[in-house]
Amino acid sequence: MPDRQPVEVQEGTPICALPARGRVRCSGFVDSVTILPPGRAPEFSAIITDVDKYLLPVPGGAVRPGVTANGKQNHRIRVIWLGRRRVPGIAPGTRLWFEGMVALRDGLPTMFNPRYEIIGKQEI
């Protein structure tokens, strides 16, 4: 029987530390999704952040874009699934792991057709 080495679990790259180009694995929370009208080529995109804004208390005033209610910087990446009108389970507030090649597109880190895994929420 061959010796089995322990598998090293990688935490992944934080969204705030994404390279300009290259393969990454990271996790985050779906902030928003965009569904294109039927007349356009199928494409489903989501903005993923490193902060779950649905768990943060919102103070009485408005919050600047890119900054959470508690003042923490909100880093973002766009993921796009080409050829799909929707991706089951991907909705605002969903936490997921995703992996693929990242590149800048329109000034925002973007990943096309990533591998992904939805991380379930623990019931209380």
CA 40 to chain centre: 24
Cα–Cα distance for residue pair 31/121, rounded to 1 Å: 16
Structure tokens at 117: 């895994």
The predicted-structure confidence for 26-35, as pLDDT tens digits, reads as follows: 999 999 999 8
The predicted-structure confidence for 72-93, as pLDDT tens digits, reads as follows: 456 899 999 999 999 999 999 8
Cα–Cα distance for residue pair 78/52, rounded to 1 Å: 16
| Structural domain count, the chain | 1
Higher pLDDT, 77 or 62: 77
Residue 40 in domain: yes
Enclosing domain of residue 23 = 18-54+70-119
Q: 79: domain CATH number?
A: 2.40.50.140
